[in-house]
């Protein structure tokens, strides 16, 4: 299976962007959507997310059972919507991601991240990226300003222990990790120069970050804000649906739907689907 390689990317990264990504693990913001596309994306994310069970980790995992045979994974909205799939394959994203990860690329995650007023998501890393190298995109869709965008800790992808290891050991709870102060003080045990950064994205713009960076969110406004997360990996990786978010990991027997967005698949490790067509 192959898709046209595009060696002369329209959206080339500058030397300083490449250096920032190498040194800090993130770059952006970059413009993606028009105002009307952003407005139409919110109901589309809601419509597709409603077809999933939402964020779900079974309390007791039955060996061999697939929890995703009949219900789509909440991270697979690209497989449910031609609109979402098309946005996730735009050259504004794929040209840049290909420069960071090579030309044989899969899109394997599209997620709705909505946070109501004064809500957020505790500091964490995405466990999927312990087992598959990859890149995340955070696209601001509605109600996002540089003051309530996703927070990251640059360079933290190799910091140990990770939040999940602290939580798994029982030393801290998820609620404890809502605190910037705690996350930063633990990150500084790995790197005394660590800091929290909010990439200055506004609606319709995205930033790119290494999948394993520590990140968290808080929406300190009185309105819901909407974002979309996208995930990309090289075709050499083996992508799986986690049934847990703490070690030891367990995986669903069903493979996540992936779209080949650039290049070819020489590995056959993944469940590659045809892109849903825009009607």
Ligand X SMILES: O=C(O)CCC(=O)C(=O)O
Joined tokens for residue 131: 């087992």
Q: How far is the CB of 198 from ligand X (least distance, A)?
A: 12
Q: How far is the CB of 164 from ligand X (least distance, A)?
A: 13
Q: How far is the CB of 35 from ligand X (least distance, A)?
A: 21
| CB nearer ligand X, residue 9 or residue 145 | 145
| CB nearer ligand X, residue 3 or residue 231 | 231
| CB nearer ligand X, residue 154 or residue 229 | 229
239 preceded by a cis bond (ω within 30 of 0): no
Question: What is the per-residue burial (b if ≥16 Cβ within 10 Å, else e) of 250-261?
Answer: ebbebbbbbbbb
Q: How far is the CB of 136 from ligand X (least distance, A)?
A: 6
Q: How far is the CB of 237 from ligand X (least distance, A)?
A: 17
Q: How far is the CB of 205 from ligand X (least distance, A)?
A: 14
Q: Cα–Cα–Cα angle for 143, 149, 150, nearest 5°?
A: 135
| CB nearer ligand X, residue 124 or residue 188 | 124
Q: Are 211 and 232 in contact (CB under 8 A)?
A: no
The span from the CA of 209 to the CA of 124, in Å, is 14
DSSP labels, 200-265: ---TTEEEEEETTSEEEEE--SSS-EEEEEEEEEETTS----BS-SSSSP-B-SSPPEEEEEEEE-
| CB nearer ligand X, residue 1 or residue 55 | 55
Name the residues that contact ligand X, by CB under 6 A.
113, 115, 121, 126, 136, 138, 150, 215, 217, 227, 229
Identify the residue whose tokens are 């640059």.
154
The span from the CA of 110 to the CA of 76, in Å, is 5
The span from the CA of 66 to the CA of 69, in Å, is 6
The span from the CA of 115 to the CA of 223, in Å, is 9
| CB nearer ligand X, residue 53 or residue 119 | 119
Joined tokens for residue 84: 């979402």
| CB nearer ligand X, residue 208 or residue 243 | 208
Q: How far is the CB of 114 from ligand X (least distance, A)?
A: 8
């Amino acid at each position: 299976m192959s898709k046209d390689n595009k060696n002369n990317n329209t959206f080339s990264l500058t030397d300083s962007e490449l250096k920032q990504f190498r040194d800090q693990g993130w770059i952006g913001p970059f413009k993606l959507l028009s105002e009307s596309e952003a407005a139409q994306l919110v109901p589309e994310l809601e419509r597709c997310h409603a077809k999933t069970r939402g964020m779900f980790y079974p309390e007791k995992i039955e060996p061999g059972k697939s929890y995703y045979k009949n219900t789509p994974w909440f991270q697979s909205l690209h497989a449910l919507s031609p609109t979402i799939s098309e946005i996730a394959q735009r050259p504004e994203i794929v040209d840049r991601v290909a420069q960071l990860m090579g030309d044989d690329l899969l899109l394997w995650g599209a997620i709705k991240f909505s946070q109501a007023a004064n809500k957020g998501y505790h500091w964490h890393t995405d466990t999927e990226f312990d087992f598959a190298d990859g890149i995340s995109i955070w696209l601001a869709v509605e109600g996002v300003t540089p003051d309530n965008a996703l927070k990251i800790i640059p360079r933290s992808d190799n910091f140990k222990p990770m939040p999940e290891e602290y939580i798994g050991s029982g030393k801290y709870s998820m609620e404890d990790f809502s605190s910037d102060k705690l996350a930063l003080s633990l990150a500084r045990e790995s790197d005394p120069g660590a800091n929290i950064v909010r990439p200055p994205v506004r609606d319709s713009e995205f930033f790119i970050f290494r999948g394993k960076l520590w990140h968290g969110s808080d929406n300190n406004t009185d309105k819901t804000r909407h974002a979309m997360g996208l995930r990309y990996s090289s075709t050499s990786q083996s992508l799986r649906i986690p049934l847990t978010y703490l070690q030891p990991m367990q995986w669903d027997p069903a493979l996540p739907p992936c779209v080949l967005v650039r290049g070819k698949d020489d590995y056959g490790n993944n469940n590659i689907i045809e892109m849903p067509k825009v009607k």
